[in-house]
Amino acid sequence: MTTAIVLIQADRTAMVSLGQRLADVEGVAEAYSVTGDWDFVAIVRVPRHEKLADVITMTIGQLSGVEKTQTLVAFEAFSRHDLEAIFSTGVE
Protein backbone atom coordinates (compact mmCIF):
# COMPACT_ATOMS: atom_id res chain seq x y z
CA MET A 1 0.00 0.00 0.00
CA THR A 2 1.30 3.45 -0.92
CA THR A 3 0.22 6.49 1.08
CA ALA A 4 0.53 10.10 -0.03
CA ILE A 5 -0.42 13.33 1.68
CA VAL A 6 -1.72 15.88 -0.83
CA LEU A 7 -1.75 19.57 0.12
CA ILE A 8 -4.30 21.52 -1.89
CA GLN A 9 -4.82 25.22 -2.52
CA ALA A 10 -8.34 26.00 -3.70
CA ASP A 11 -10.16 28.81 -5.37
CA ARG A 12 -12.28 30.60 -2.74
CA THR A 13 -15.46 29.88 -4.68
CA ALA A 14 -14.81 26.13 -4.34
CA MET A 15 -14.26 26.06 -0.58
CA VAL A 16 -17.80 24.97 0.29
CA SER A 17 -18.00 21.97 -2.04
CA LEU A 18 -14.42 20.84 -2.65
CA GLY A 19 -13.96 18.91 0.58
CA GLN A 20 -16.78 16.49 -0.19
CA ARG A 21 -15.68 16.15 -3.81
CA LEU A 22 -12.17 15.26 -2.61
CA ALA A 23 -13.56 12.70 -0.19
CA ASP A 24 -15.54 11.11 -3.03
CA VAL A 25 -12.43 10.48 -5.16
CA GLU A 26 -11.53 6.80 -5.32
CA GLY A 27 -8.22 6.40 -3.49
CA VAL A 28 -8.79 9.31 -1.10
CA ALA A 29 -9.02 7.79 2.37
CA GLU A 30 -9.61 11.10 4.16
CA ALA A 31 -9.97 14.77 3.26
CA TYR A 32 -9.60 17.68 5.68
CA SER A 33 -10.13 21.42 5.45
CA VAL A 34 -7.19 23.08 7.19
CA THR A 35 -5.78 26.47 8.14
CA GLY A 36 -2.52 27.95 6.95
CA ASP A 37 -0.99 28.14 3.48
CA TRP A 38 -3.07 25.22 2.22
CA ASP A 39 -6.85 24.87 2.18
CA PHE A 40 -7.26 21.08 2.15
CA VAL A 41 -5.25 17.97 2.90
CA ALA A 42 -6.14 14.67 1.27
CA ILE A 43 -4.76 11.35 2.46
CA VAL A 44 -4.43 9.10 -0.56
CA ARG A 45 -3.96 5.34 -0.24
CA VAL A 46 -3.46 3.21 -3.33
CA PRO A 47 -2.34 -0.40 -3.79
CA ARG A 48 0.60 0.49 -6.07
CA HIS A 49 2.84 3.54 -6.38
CA GLU A 50 1.95 3.79 -10.08
CA LYS A 51 -1.70 4.53 -9.19
CA LEU A 52 -0.75 7.83 -7.52
CA ALA A 53 -0.67 9.65 -10.86
CA ASP A 54 -4.20 8.48 -11.66
CA VAL A 55 -5.58 9.72 -8.37
CA ILE A 56 -3.55 12.88 -7.85
CA THR A 57 -2.72 14.25 -11.28
CA MET A 58 -5.58 12.91 -13.36
CA THR A 59 -8.36 13.25 -10.78
CA ILE A 60 -7.63 15.58 -7.84
CA GLY A 61 -5.63 18.01 -9.97
CA GLN A 62 -8.47 18.22 -12.49
CA LEU A 63 -11.24 18.97 -9.98
CA SER A 64 -12.85 22.35 -10.49
CA GLY A 65 -11.52 24.76 -7.88
CA VAL A 66 -8.16 23.06 -7.31
CA GLU A 67 -5.49 25.67 -8.01
CA LYS A 68 -2.32 23.98 -6.78
CA THR A 69 -1.21 20.73 -5.14
CA GLN A 70 1.88 19.49 -3.41
CA THR A 71 2.30 15.77 -2.84
CA LEU A 72 4.26 14.12 -0.04
CA VAL A 73 4.77 10.37 -0.48
CA ALA A 74 5.09 8.49 2.80
CA PHE A 75 8.07 6.20 3.27
CA GLU A 76 6.98 4.68 6.56
CA ALA A 77 3.91 4.98 8.77
CA PHE A 78 3.92 5.51 12.51
CA SER A 79 0.99 5.82 14.86
CA ARG A 80 0.70 6.59 18.54
CA HIS A 81 -0.23 2.95 19.08
CA ASP A 82 2.91 1.73 17.26
CA LEU A 83 5.19 4.13 19.15
CA GLU A 84 3.70 3.18 22.52
CA ALA A 85 4.35 -0.50 21.74
CA ILE A 86 7.97 0.19 20.77
CA PHE A 87 8.75 2.10 23.96
CA SER A 88 6.60 0.10 26.35
CA THR A 89 8.37 -1.52 29.27
CA GLY A 90 5.29 -3.48 30.22
CA VAL A 91 5.12 -1.64 33.56
CA GLU A 92 2.25 0.70 34.26
pTM value is: 0.83
Residue 59 lies in a domain: yes
pLDDT of residue 77: 82
Specify the CATH number for the domain of residue 12. 3.30.70.920
Domain count, the chain: 1
Within a domain: 92: no
Instruction: Answer yes or no: is 12 within a domain.
Output: yes
Task: Name the residue range of residue 63's domain.
Answer: 2-87
pLDDT at 29 over 70: yes
Residue-wise pLDDT for 47-91, tens only, equals 999 999 999 999 999 999 999 999 999 998 877 665 556 565 555
16-23 contacts: CB < 8 A, separation 24 or more?
17/65, 18/63, 18/65, 18/66, 21/63, 22/60, 22/63
Kindly tell me the burial class for residue 7, based on how many C-beta atoms sit within 10 Å of its own C-beta (0-12, 13-18, 19 or more): middle
Q: Rounded distance, CA 31 to CA 77, Å?
A: 18
Q: Is residue 13 part of a domain?
A: yes
